[in-house]
Amino acid sequence: MRILREDHAGLSRVLREIDSQRSLLASTPGAARPVLAEALRYLLVYQHSIHHPREDRLFRRVRMREPRLYQNMHRLVSEHRIGQEVAERLAGELSRATLTQLQGKTGQRLAKRLHQYVQHTRDHMRREEAVFYTGSERVLRASDWTALMAGPMPRDPAADPQRFAARYPRLAEWMSRPQRDVLGPGDATTSPDLRGRLEQVVEACGALLHQAIDLAQRIACASIRAAGRRPRA
């Protein structure tokens, strides 16, 4: 179970990078595409080809021990297949698109679908941890774990920075950057100078508004006090 949880740790790190890079796809496709391509390759080569089959073997063991629990896991099994198909399609479309296409509507659509894929994978992971992992830990016996651990157990390359950098150099380089910009450049139609002036105007208006409120409050208080002092007729 620890190996599966560590796989999720590596997956989470790469999903975060995909989510950051996809927001840069339309503005800097030349830089973002190779990173996204490597990230999707990592997902297909390790997470979909090794981690998910590992979980599927565990699902089968759980079904043997507690068929009722397996009912809730059926959805997770189908999500593995759907996730792999989506990742393969995204990788294909990303490699086929020209840089000009990525800067236009194609890039925007691709970025949106990448986001949906990231969301789907995060939701899937959360459900697995909440339902399947806790359930497996409860129902499986030591003999089940011994059987599951038999045979080769390849480990997540994301857990070993050197091995990861050798296989996915661009992705590793981005992931190790001390600072990363998220969301890409701002609104290009407004110049920074104009925006700065607008912000100053808004701030000045805000200050005036608050001064006016203060003044009105003082006048109101003074009027109430004066009314209180006035002798009754």
Residues that bind other proteins (CB under 8 A): 2, 5-6, 8-10, 12-13, 15-16, 19-20, 122, 125-126, 129-130, 134, 178-187, 196, 199-200, 202-203, 205-207, 209-210
| Least distance from other proteins to the Cβ atom of residue 15, Å | 6
Q: How far apart are CA 215 and CA 202, in angstroms?
A: 20
Radius of gyration over every alpha carbon of the chain, rounded to an integer in angstroms? 28
Q: State the DSSP code for 232.
A: P
- Overall size of the chain counted in residues: 233
- In the complex, least distance from residue 102 CB atom to other proteins, rounded to whole angstroms: 17
- In whole angstroms, the minimum distance from the beta carbon of 149 to other proteins comes to 18
Which residue, 22 or 92, is less far from other proteins as judged by CB? 22
Q: Which is nearer to other proteins, 65 or 127 (CB)?
A: 127
Is 95 or 207 the residue whose CB approaches other proteins more closely?
207
CB-nearer residue toward other proteins: 178 or 228: 178
Q: How far is the CB of 223 from other proteins (least distance, A)?
A: 22
Are 56 and 42 within 8 A, CB to CB? no
Largest CA distance in the chain: 102
Give 68-109 as a DSSP string.
HHHHHHHHHHHHHHHHHHHHHHHHHHHHHS-HHHHHSHHHHH
Q: For other proteins, give the closer residue by CB, 67 or 178.
A: 178
Distance CA 233, CA 98 (A): 88
Q: Tell the smallest beta-carbon distance from residue 19 to other proteins (Å).
A: 7
Structure tokens at 145: 């774990």
What does the alpha-carbon distance between residue 43 and residue 78 come to, in Å, rounded to a whole number?
17
Among candidate residues 121, 4, 119, 118, the one with its CA nearest the CA of residue 51: 4
Of residues 53, 41, 77, the one with CA closest to residue 3: 53
In the complex, the smallest distance separating the C-beta of residue 163 from other proteins, rounded to whole angstroms, is: 17
